[in-house]
Amino acid sequence: MRAAVWHEDNSELVMEDIPEPEMLPDSVIVDVVAAFGTGGLAERIRNPPDMMFPPKPFVPGLDTIGRVRAVADGVTHVAPGDLVYCDHFYGSRVAGGIDDRCLLASFGLGEQSDRPLARWRNGNFAEQMIQPAECMVRLGRATEKATPAQLVRLGWIGTAYGGFLNADLQPGETVIVSGATGQVGASGVLMALAMGATRIVATGRRRALLDELTALAPNRIVPVVLNGDDSDGAAIRDAAGGGADVMLDAIGYGAAPEATMAALAGLGQGGRAALVGVGFTDPLTLVYEDILFQELHIIGSIWFPREAGHHMVAMIASGQLDLSAVEPIVYPLEETMAALLKAEESGLGLRHVVVQPNDP
C-alpha cells in the first residue's frame, strides 16, 4: 500500500510502498478516508524536538476517519464496513498506574509510552491503518450531518470539549475563548455553542476571522480584537458582562503569554480557566492574590476522555453540534508534504487540512 513515511534523518516524508498492516489482538484495521493535517508536524520533521516518537521509519498522522476493513476476534462494537472516528489518544488514566499515555503514531507523553508507540506505530498518512479497538468510535448517523473531511476535526473539537468538561461548563454560563482564531480555539467556539453557553467572548488578533466566528451566532458571540497592551484584559472583562464563568485558553505553541493573562483577567469571581494550548515563549506569570481573592480555578486539560468521542458523535448526529461552517482543504495522499506545509499556516480558524488516501 502507499504511505508517507518518516525515515531517520529525513527532513520530509517519503512516499513509498509498504506492507499492509497485519491484525493484532484487540485491534481494528481501517481504510483511511480522511487524515487530519497537523500544523506542527512539518516542523517536527524538519527539526525533530526532544520527544518520544515511534521507532523510525514510521507513518505519522493522528485524527482519522476510516472505514473498517477487519476486526480482531472479540471486537464487537464496530464491524467491517462501518465508518469510524479513530481517537489516537491511548494509555492508562489510573492513579498509580504506569504513565504510558501517548498519541499513537505521533509522540509519547509518559516515560513508558514507548511500548504502545511501537505496537501501533503507523498512522493515517497511508491507505490502511491499524489501531486499538478501544480507539474506534462508530459514526453512524453523524455522517448525515457532516462529511468525513469535516468529522476528522474531532480531536481538535474534543480538545476544547475536554477543557470545558474539566472546567465544568454549564448551560447559561459565559465563556471566554482565548486564541479563538486558531483551530482549537475556533473549535471551542463551536463546542461552547453546542454546550449552551449564552455568551461567548472570542479573542484574537485577526478581525476577519473573528467576524467569521461571530456570524455563526451574532446574538451570543462577542469578538474582542487584542491590541497586545494592558487594555486587553479590561476589554475582555467588559465583553463578558463584568466577568466570565469559564475561560478556554487555546493559544498556540510559541506565543507570548500576554493574551492568556488578559483572558484570565476577564474571569469573574470563582471563574474556571482550562488551559489546552501548548506553551509560550515565556513563563505564565500568575498573581497569587488574584487567584486567592477571586477564588480562581486554573486547570490543565489534555485531550478528552474516551467516552467523550461517543458524546461528540451523538451531538453531531442530533444537530446539537453543528459542523456546517467547517471548511476542509483536501489533498490526495501523494501530496502529503504539501498538505502539511499548508497546515503550518496560522489562523486557519474554521478551516483545516485533510489528506484523503481513499474515497469516502
Q: What band does 7 get if pLDDT is binned at 50, 70 and 90?
A: very high
pLDDT tens figures, 47-95: 888 889 999 999 999 999 999 999 999 999 999 999 999 999 998 766 6
State yes or no: pLDDT of 252 exceeds 80: no
- C-alpha cell recorded at residue 138: 462508530
User: Which among 106, 74, 65 has a CA at the least distance from the CA of 89?
Assistant: 106
- State yes or no: pLDDT of 345 exceeds 90: no
pLDDT of residue 274: 97
Question: Hey, is 280 helix, strand or coil?
Answer: strand
- Can you list the alpha helix ranges (DSSP code H) found in the chain? 41-46, 114-119, 148-151, 154-166, 183-194, 207-214, 231-239, 258-265, 288-294, 306-318, 336-343
Q: What phi, psi does 225 have (nearest 5°)?
A: -85, 120
Higher pLDDT, 190 or 109: 190
Give the integer Cα–Cα distance in Å for 83 and 145.
14
In this prediction, residue 228 carries a pLDDT of 86
265's grid cell: 483577567
Q: Please state, in angstroms and rounded to a whole number, the distance separating the CA atoms of residues 342 and 336.
A: 10
- Under a CB-based contact definition with an 8 Å cutoff, are residues 330 and 356 in contact? yes
Report pLDDT for 269: 96
Would the CATH topology of 2-153+326-356 be identical to that of 156-300? yes
The CATH architecture assigned to 2-153+326-356 reads Alpha-Beta Complex (3.90)
What beta strand segments (E) does the chain contain?
2-5, 14-17, 27-37, 64-71, 83-86, 89-90, 102-103, 107-108, 128-132, 136-138, 174-178, 199-204, 221-225, 244-249, 267-275, 297-300, 327-332, 351-356
Q: What is the DSSP code (8-state) at residue 80?
A: T
Q: Is residue 48 exposed (0-12), middle (13-18) or buried (19+ Cβ within 10 Å)?
A: middle
What pLDDT digit, counting tens, does each position of 190-228 carry? 999 999 999 999 999 999 999 999 999 999 999 999 998
Bond prior to 283 in cis (omega within 30° of 0) = no
- Give this prediction's pTM: 0.95
Does the pLDDT value for residue 284 go beyond 90?
Answer: no
**3-class DSSP assignment, residue 86:** strand
* pLDDT of residue 185 exceeding 90: yes
Assigned CATH for 156-300: 3.90.180.10
Report whether 173 contacts 198 (CB < 8 A): yes
Domain ranges within the chain, ordered by starting residue = 2-153+326-356, 156-300
Distance CA 207, CA 212 (A): 9
